[in-house]
Structure 1
Amino acid sequence: MSLFQRLKGYFSREKPPPMSIEGLRAIFKARYHAFKLLLAANNTALQLMTDMEAALQGTHSFGMTFIRSHATAICVNVYSIIKYLNELGGGKYQALEPVFSGIEKKIDEVLKRRELPPIQDLVLPLSQVHREMADGVGSKMANLGEIKARLPELLVPDGFVITAAAYEQFLTYNFLHDEINRRLQALEVEDIGDLYRLSSEIQMLIIGGEMPPPLMEAVFRAYCELEDRASPGVRVALRSSAIGEDTAETSFAGQYRSELNVCRENILTVYKEILASKYALTAVSYRLHKGLRDEDVAMCVGCMEMVEAAAGGVMYSRDPTDIRRDQVLINAVHGLPKTVVNGSVNPDLWVVSRGETPAVIRKEIQDKKQKAVCLPREGTVMENDDRGREPAITDDQAMALARLALALEEHFQAPQDVEWCLDEDGRILILQSRPLKQLAPARREDAAAETGDRPALLRGGDTASLGVAAGPVFLVKTNLDLLQFPEGAVLVTAFAHPGWATLLSRAAAVVTDRGGITGHLANVAREFGIPALFNTGDATQRLSPGEVVTVDADGQAVYGGRVEELLGLAVARRGLMVGTPVHETLKEVMTLINPLNLTNPDRPDFKPQKCRTLHDITRFAHEMAVKEMFAFDKQPA
């Protein structure tokens, strides 16, 4: 065919009929609808990114549910953006899909990352445990094994550990991993009623689970070996030793269950109850507000020979409220030390100097109205303490305890929080040793100048946690009060119950009638940076519900109203989430979501293959969508 014929054929072709106005309107309407949906998805994705960026500041508590739900919602909206852009562009932006899939896969890998237990043994005798095994047996039992192995002059009750591998086997055997995760996904962090319901449901799932036969056999074998070393029918104490518990920043003080004086027949039942206590209301709340991933906290359990304690308590190798004081603090009671840690009794206090020859600097003997003792067959009971006004220990025993505290501090190279007891033969046994968080007091030259002539509503008590704060008084007496406690209130209660720790993320300060500074609630208050004044005697009688007060824990006083001179000295709380595992996970996920690398649409690298984050995809898609929408006349019908 000649050139002339080809040209003639081209110009003589029949042109397609022009599209009707109605057809054009229909196409434009469909494209405009896709454009609007794209913009809506874009705005939603950007708002979710902003929410996650704000969470990075660490000033508000959030859990893995927040990260997973926001990351999922962003991915859903970005996928919609790609879909609507391809509708606008006639499918020419399909190169975005593999880029998106690659980023989504990386996010999913971060969110599903999970460490397997490093120790595969289901049960280990305490004699084989040391501090390097904390990831398999928990810090509590790892430290006790370390003391038993490396500090033979210190006595530790004999026993064994049911490991993290056993916990994993129990959950797998009962198909609980996915079910627990599903329930946690729906958790509203700020809704304590929702938290309470979730806590009860998950605990019942665990308690109702069956023991895997291999685990059951391993536990009873270890118990029989303990019987051989101790005595037939030996009763034991089962104590939580969760991964992450008993560290300097996350003590989990009093948040998990322990059970004393347990007989052989009930070991497995109590074991399941301790596993379930991982999801107790206070424990779930604590993890959320300390930024700990649920999947990182395996519950190990220590099973130790029960000691008939003549006296017991807790000691700090240094003063936790003032790093400048060179002294050991010892709280002691008659009977089992549980009344010290649960705050139900005002314990005796010994202040002992540090050094090669410790000396008693000061002692305060309290009226200890009750004590905890072992029942003949199983369990413990509170009974009246007929010798309550007498010292729980002697000066010589206090100095011996101080020497042990210093030995533990030297070995672990950090101040220690030590639970101890005296057996009926007067021997000191170490029940727990964990790092002690210390604080530096604020510089206050003249407290009188700060408060002027203002009379105090209450003076005295013990500084359990430093600080100054103000808020309305709220009396907490029962668990029902947990559901009604308002944000920013001052928690006033009869004794320093560990269960009240779930309120510390919302409380301005804590004031109690009874309780020692070495108890569980005091520990958690220091971790959260909440001012706490314990052992005031009658705060619940002197402070009226709803009354606004200023709590000066440093100065051991409570004033009516807001004392701005004192509040001006308050140290701003560091974001509790910063540096926590959950916060670190958010930071890692955000590297795949938020950075914007595609900023200039005129550059040659402004194309799908150069998108490295979800934000890049939204930026590229938005720019292209605008071009496609306003290039309607160039689009094929």
Structure 2
Amino acid sequence: MAWLRNIFDKLVGIRRDEGPTPEQLEELKAACSAQHHHFQMLLAANSKSLELMSDMEELLHGGRVFGMSFIRATCTAVLVNVYSIIQHLDGIAPGKYTRLFTRFEDIQRKVTEALVPTRAKQHMDLVVPLEYVDKSLADVVGSKMANIGEMTSRIGLPVPAGFVVTARGFDEFMRQGGLQEEINRMLLSTRVEDMSARFSLSAAIQQRIMQTELPPELTRSLERQYERLRAECGRNMRISLRSSALGEDAAGTSFAGQFRTILNVDREFLPQAYKEVVASLYGLPALSYRLTRGIRDEDVAMCVGGMVMVRSVAGGVMYSRSPINVRDDAVFINSVWGLPKLVVDGGATPDRFVVARGKHEDPAEGLRMREHTIAVKPELYVCRDNEGVLLVEQDPARAVQASLTETQALQLAEMAVRLERYYGVPQDIEWTLDESGQLYILQCRPLARRDIGEPPVQAEHRHYGESITSGGATASPGVGCGPVFVVERDADALQFPPGSVLVTRLSLPKWASLLNWCAAVVTEQGSVTGHLANVAREFGVPAITGQAGALERLKPGTVVTVDADACVVYPGCIEELIARGQPRPDLMKGSPVYELLKDISRFIIPLNLLDPDSPDFRIRNIETLHDVTRYCHEKSVQEMFELNMNRDFRECGSRQLVVGGSPTQFWVVDLEDGFIREEPGPFVRIGNIASTPMLALWEGISAIPWEGPPSVNAKGFMSIVAEATTNPALHPALQSKFANRNYFLVSKEYCNLQSRFGFHFSTVEAVVGDRPQRNYINFRFAGGAADFERRRRRAAFIGGILEEIGFYVNVRSDNVLARYEGFPKDAMCERLVVMGYLTMHTRQLDMIMADAAATRMHRTKIMADIDKLLTGKARCPEAVSS
């Protein structure tokens, strides 16, 4: 500690044996106090860094939805806290570890580069004719329009003429007036996991997009393509504008119904309609979908396709195979009069045609009608010049007629089979029929499927009591249970409680933003081919569509079980049915956001610096931010303890705690007024401690002797051996001279206990005084030598005990974070006694966490011990001479 010796030499002068004057001693103590402050702040930043790393590690184990805002915010917070650790280590030992700053900058650069979007910039026109497009241009025009171009240029199916605004055109627009930078700032500053915040963010971004003018070159390119189509198709031509975002309609990420489609667009409205489609990229359904599917916002450039409007007599959606039964290879066609919009949006119950494949080598030959159901279709969507798209009443006589002939249904089925054979997977296809009888394909995507399993036999149905309602169709198989929540307006959606059953009249695509919180879905209208049904299958949410009378019979707040397989809703939670349901897929694992977190974690989470006594424990071997925290923590402890070894600086150093005349494995650093009186030598007796929270902790530490590790079976023992063998961080090298030191930083009302027993680490920080509003206890527990699952269970075990005594607990991965605050002095001390006890008695419990009986036995014993400790405790411990 040369820097501190220089201060001391300056203060003391040449004749050391004369000792410092009182003024010089005060200046030395001030320097020591500053060093203690750096040490305390280093520990706080270290604790926060490890907490953030635990958050990231927990997300990598799956089960939680997170977005890019979480990754950016967490990476920023980790970098800030690790840099703070380095700064405070430099404050403890100025100039001694400056190379850490350079190493930190190298890691920071890698993290920052990983966060930068990597989407390739394509050298392509802003707008291109559809006939130039095929699937090789998916990264330029999006999967949807690439598939449409492929259908006309390679497969030879009838598709309306059109054009595509490319990813380059989108990028040019988003650069206009710094639009993209502003959106990025808004995304970064919003916690998108919160629904109400997401709603406000969506509205603000869409408004900003609509207010931005298109670049002049993009406007001219759009108008040129429009005029080209009008020259081909006539002056009364109108077009539809469809989303074709990068990644949309790719296998596993359909984005079904999450973006806008604008119909019946004329030349004057073309720029405005284009902006509406682009703005839907940040609509609430799209934001929610990307969050749940782990898709980065910057990876979804909004290409937009323009297609000539067909004078639609009928339209709908067809599936080349069953979406819920892998054994059924029939083609399923849903159809309505007018535009396909009522089928796509789930606004009506359509006609249903099921076409069986032939037994020939070519499955498109021998197609035959297997069944058909004709629905009542009282309304239809039509296009009218100067009026846009209108929902109008249907002629009553026509409403009950089939919207397709059998010949037309078979023609559609033949197209579906051709598309499936070409793409190699079942297809979800939108189609329309014009006034001349010509069928057109408007789009196709891979079909989202979720198998219902073996069809139930009616005679084998178990009796689960009287149902509340039944009927409709299985849109997504499975069973869910929860309270009914009716959603009819956007305001209802904002109040949707997680775990509820969504009941709604129309199967609208926008309700897909709620699917991640839904136990199940029941709609009165709609079909299995609607967008909401599509996304429900993708998310693994049980869903029934077309169940008449659901809103009247399913009362809000009533707990129900939705058996989507049998299209029945029962009162209460029926555990047998719920157990039959399929587990939901983990949509985050393998997603772009998940893979990015995994990639960035390489520079943050792994621990490579393991043995402080090894010659490899050097700054040059630091590879991750975890390495930085480990190195700085170890060196700060060494620096503080080395002060204790020099008689000149013992006011600045730690003292070994003596209890009953014997030294312990605990050291104490007096920050200010933590000792009753100054003691000469390297020791401090427990009777000389003035810190209220430390005395309470020590009472719990020493109250009940630890009986040693729990009895463990061979499986538990081998788990420890295997983990200790394969994880070099658990090497016996931890037995360095600092490895098992446990230290208190204390003042009269403050205590920070850093304890390390073998493979286990815990931190207790507390302020206890006469003002309850200032009082708090923070607790963190981590470590262990067993496999991850045992450590995770141990964390939940400790968290459960702390919750019983009033702590707010957050279990993250295999870490426990707990807080207790705002209570009077005696209540705080009671909890600190328990914390001291738990610090000693939760060691090595991870070994028995796979043994339910042993876990219950130890929990019973621990709770009995805690009851004894708390019995009769009405006052905080006082300093007592020992």
Query: What TM-score does the superposition give when structure 2 sets the normalisation length?
Result: 0.69
Taking the aligned partners of 2:317 and 2:123, their CA distance within structure 1 comes to 31
Contact 1:447–1:555 (CA<8 Å) still a contact in 2? Answer: no
Out of 420, 432, 438, the position equivalent to 1:409 is 420
Give the aligned partner of residue 192 of structure 1: 195
Q: Deviations over 1:508-566 (max 9, x none)?
A: 10001110110110011011110000011111111111100000111111111011110
- Determine whether 1:584 maps to 2:587: no
Match for residue 565 of structure 2? 554
CA separation of 1:443 and 1:351: change in aligned 2, threshold 3 A? closer
Distance between the aligned counterparts of 2:76 and 2:304, measured in 1? 35
Corresponding position of 2:214: 211
Structure 1 segment 92-171 matched on structure 2, within 5 A: 92-152=96-156, 154-171=157-174
Q: CA deviation at 1:293?
A: 0.4
Determine helix, strand or coil for the equivalent of 1:362: strand
Confirm or deny: 8 A CA contact 1:237 1:261 kept in the other structure.
yes
Aligned AA (1:360): M
Whether the 8 Å contact between 2:67 and 2:193 is mirrored in structure 1 is no
Distance 2:147 2:534 in 1: 18
Q: Distance in 1 between matches of 2:148 and 2:259?
A: 18
The alpha-carbon deviation at position 439 of structure 1 amounts to 2.1
Is 1:91 aligned to residue 100 of structure 2?
no
What is the distance in 2 between the residues matched to 1:538 and 1:380? Answer: 29
393-402 or 86-95, larger mean C-alpha shift: 86-95
1:5-154 correspondence runs (5 A): 14-16=14-16, 18-19=19-20, 20-152=24-156, 154=157
Whole-Å Cα distance in 2 between the matches of residues 610 and 227 of structure 1? Answer: 67
Output the amino acid matched with 1:358: L
In the alignment, what sits opposite 1:10? none
Residue identity in the other structure for 1:383:
V
- Larger of the two Rg values belongs to structure: 2
2:185 is matched with which residue?
Answer: 182
Distance in structure 2 (CA, Å) of the matches to 1:198 and 1:254: 20
Task: Name the CA distance, whole Å, in 1 between partners of 2:407 and 2:19.
Answer: 107
Counterpart amino acid of 2:122?
Answer: P
Deviation at 1:443, TM superposition (A): 4.8
Equivalent residue for 1:8? Answer: none
Is residue 243–residue 303 contact of structure 2 (8 Å, CA) maintained in 1?
A: yes
**2:258 alignment partner, SS class:** coil
**Which residue in 2 is equivalent to 1:353?**
356
Partner-residue secondary structure (3-state), 1:471: strand
Shift of 1:438: 2.0
CA–CA distance in structure 1, aligned partners of residues 551 and 195 of structure 2? 24
Q: Distance in 2 between matches of 1:233 and 1:617?
A: 69
1:436 aligns with 2:447: yes
1:451 touches 1:566 (CA, 8 Å); kept in 2? no
Identity %: 47
Give how far 1:405 is off: 0.2
**Inter-partner Cα distance in structure 1 for 2:124 and 2:451:** 42
Aligned residue number for residue 809 of structure 2: none
Letter in 2 for 1:146: E
Say whether the 8 Å CA contact 1:507–1:530 is kept in structure 2.
Answer: yes
Out of 295, 316, 336, the residue aligned to residue 298 of structure 2 is 295
Residue type of the alignment partner of 1:158: A
Amino acid corresponding to residue 525 of structure 2 in structure 1 = R
How much does 1:631 deviate?
1.3
- Structure 1 counterpart of 2:183, which letter? I
1:353-399 C-alpha deviation (Å, 9 max, x unpaired):
12321111111100011000111334110111111110000111111
Separation in 2 of the partners of 1:42 and 1:447? 62
User: d(CA) in 1 for partners of 2:188 and 2:39?
Assistant: 32
Residue 444 of structure 1 and its aligned partner are, at CA, apart by 6.9
Q: 1:132 Cα shift? A: 1.2
Match of 1:622 in 2: 633
Partner of 1:252: 255
Query: Which residue does 1:603 correspond to in 2?
Result: 614
* C-alpha separation in 2, matches of 1:622 and 1:136: 50
Question: Which residue, out of 549, 563, 572, partners 2:574?
Answer: 563
Deviation at 1:187, TM superposition (A): 1.7
TM-score (norm 1): 0.96
Counterpart among 229, 233, 237 of residue 234 in structure 1: 237
Corresponding pairs, count: 624
Correspondence 1:226-625 to 2 at 5 A: 226-354=229-357, 355=363, 356-386=365-395, 387-443=398-454, 451-625=462-636
Q: Secondary structure at the match of 1:383?
A: strand
1:6 alignment counterpart: none
Paired letter, 2:425: A
| Partner Cα distance (1:446, 1:73) in 2 | 56
Once residues 303 and 464 of structure 2 are traced to their aligned partners in structure 1, the CA distance between those partners, rounded to angstroms, is: 54
Relative distance call for 1:449 and 1:410 in structure 2 (3 A) is closer
Kindly indicate whether the alpha-carbon contact (under 8 Å) linking 1:262 and 1:378 is maintained by their aligned counterparts in 2.
Answer: no
| Secondary structure class of the residue paired with 1:260 | strand
> 2:216 and 2:455 mapped to 1: Cα distance?
62
Q: C-alpha separation between the residues in 2 aligned to 1:26 and 1:238?
A: 71
Structure 1 stretch 480-489 or stretch 23-32: which is displaced more?
Answer: 23-32
Is contact 1:263–1:378 with CA below 8 Å preserved after alignment? Answer: no
Unmatched 5+ residue regions in structure 2? 1-12, 358-362, 650-882
The question of whether the paired residues in 1 share the 8 Å contact of 2:320 and 2:329 is answered with no
CA deviation profile, 1:405-440 (whole Å, cap 9, x unmatched): 000111111111000000000011000011112222
> How far apart, CA to CA, are the structure 1 residues paired with 2:250 and 2:159?
20
Q: d(CA) in 1 for partners of 2:520 and 2:275? A: 35
Counterpart CA distance in 2 for 1:117 and 1:332 is 40
- Looking at structure 2, the residues matched to 321 and 444 of structure 1 have their Cα atoms a distance apart, in angstroms, of 10
For 2:741, the equivalent position in structure 1 comes to: none
The whole-number CA distance in structure 1 between the counterparts of 2:123 and 2:94 is: 56
* 3-state SS of 1:322 partner: coil
Q: Cα–Cα, structure 1 residues 54 and 453, in superposed 2: closer, same or farther, change >3 Å?
A: closer
The aligned amino acid for 1:488 is G
Other structure's SS at 1:630 match: helix
- Alpha-carbon distance, 1:149 to partner: 0.3
Contact 2:66 2:193 in 1 (8 A): no
Instruction: Give, in whole Å, the separation in 2 of the partners of 1:253 and 1:183.
Output: 25
In structure 2, the residue corresponding to 1:264 is in which secondary structure? Answer: coil
Q: Which amino acid aligns with 2:414?
A: R
Using the alignment, how far apart are the partners of 2:461 and 2:57 within structure 1?
39
Q: How far apart are the structure 2 equivalents of 1:603 and 1:468?
A: 56
Q: Give the residue type in structure 2 aligned to 1:357.
A: G
* Offset, 1:252: 1.0
CA distance in 1, matches of 2:117, 2:545: 42
Q: Which amino acid aligns with 1:200?
A: A
Give the secondary-structure state (helix, strand or coil) at the position aligned to 1:241. strand
- Partner AA of 1:623 in structure 2: E
Paired residue type of 1:74: V
